[in-house]
Amino acid sequence: MRLSYYPETDSLYIDLSPKPSVESREVTEGVVLDYDEAGNLTGIDIDNASAKLDLRELIIDKLPSEIHKIPT
């Protein structure tokens, strides 16, 4: 899973799967869910993210994986 924030558009993309999306559905204003060909959720796109979410902190709790921080 990868979280990517784009400050120039104030959007956050949560990439849940390496599979390509073939369908997108807006579930509420500015929140789009992407699905693969089997109907599985592959990503979440959030427009105006800083108004909808607190982007100052990310808490990861009890995930059974390594955490990689990409330098900015």
Of all residues in the chain, the percent with pLDDT exceeding 70 is: 99
Whether residue 42 contacts residue 16, with contact meaning beta carbons closer than 8 Å, is answered with: yes
What is the per-residue pLDDT for 18? Answer: 93
Domain with 40, as residue range(s), is 2-52
28 assigned to some structural domain: yes
Give the residues across from 25 on adjacent strands: 33
What is the per-residue pLDDT for 58? Answer: 82
61 assigned to some structural domain: no
Torsion angle of the four alpha carbons 2, 38, 32, 43, in this order, in degrees rounded to the nearest 10: 0
Residue 54: which residues within 8 A CB-CB, separation 6 or more?
A: none
Between 65 and 40, where is the model more confident? Answer: 40
Long-range contacts of the stretch 30-34 (C-beta < 8 A, 24+):
none
pLDDT greater than 70 at residue 72: no
Count of domains for the chain? 1
pTM, two decimal places: 0.84
Residue 47 — very low, low, confident or very high, per pLDDT cuts 50/70/90?
A: very high
Give the residues across from 11 on adjacent strands: 6
72 assigned to some structural domain: no
19 assigned to some structural domain: yes
